[in-house]
Amino acid sequence: MIGIETLSTNRAHGGVQGVYRHQSSATATPMTFSVFVPDHAPGTTLPVMWFLSGLTCTHANVTEKGEYRQACAELGLIFVAPDTSPRGEGVADVPDYDFGQGAGFYVDATEAPWSAHFRMRSYIEQELPALIAAAFPADMTRQGITGHSMGGHGALTIGLRNPDRFRSVSAFAPIVAPSQVPWGQKALAGYLGDDPAAWRAHDAVALIEDGARVGELLVDQGDADSFLADQLRPQLLEAACHAAGIALTLRIQPGYDHSYYCISTFLADHLRWHAERLG
């Protein structure tokens, strides 16, 4: 795999879980990501599932806590988990957990100093898929995308902007309308400037209002999530999907919070849902 450094590989559930690093042209930094590849017949290619993580996370959170490998092995799915932002010396940062390193929000920043490295939209939509296609047995005509919290925002917006690329889109506790909640308003203003019109391409509800369409969405949300009322507000996505005729399955899960205890409980359900649509 030219240009990719293998950091680790482990045998798991009849497949290989790898962690890799490469020098990104989009972010101008090294970027780390993980890939699980199930065993498969030589010469065959497999559908690809993308998982985008949330605030403060790296690739490691879902890789270590997601409990997805058994389902991916059974379903024949490659599972790709990128990092959430550029990192390293010389990369702009602030002490806040909801902005800067670990909080890239899957946008291409236009405001200094963030614009030098924070180009996560280009990284996720263009650079990393090309790398996955070249280095792994991936069928890039069959891709699904999901994510958690900030990564749920990323999955929804990237899926809505690229319906020809992603056959299936889901999310866990996503920030559905960042333009209308504190986390998103802080991040979008900081990365993209003060004009809310520039934020709409990075807001799932606004994208739907502006005409973006997918056939259906699956969202799981815990009702014990401490961020539910102020930051996540799934009812806004529900209203937008209803108005647009998008089939949204919104599952409110009693007693579940915002943690990986919730994600790991329902991630296999999501993978089965995606696999049905990926063929």
| Close Cβ partners of 243 (under 8 Å, ≥ 6 residues apart) | 208, 209
Residue 217: closest CA among 167, 252, 267, 177: 167
SS3 223: coil
**Cα Rg, the chain, nearest whole Å:** 17
Pairing of strands 46-52, 78-82: parallel
Cβ(220)–Cβ(266) below 8 Å: yes
Catalytic residue among 168, 203, 225, 270: 225
Q: Retrieve residue 83's tokens.
A: 């990092």
* 225 in catalytic set: yes
The arrangement of strands across the sheet holding 15-23 comes to 4-12, 15-23, 30-38, 78-82, 46-52, 138-147, 166-172, 216-222, 247-253
Which residue is catalytic, options 24, 34, 85, 149? 149
Q: Is 242 a catalytic residue?
A: no
Q: Pick the catalytic residue: 153, 258, 270, 274?
A: 258
Cβ atoms of 278 and 272 closer than 8 Å: no
Is 53 one of the catalytic residues? no
Which positions are annotated as active-site residues?
149, 225, 258
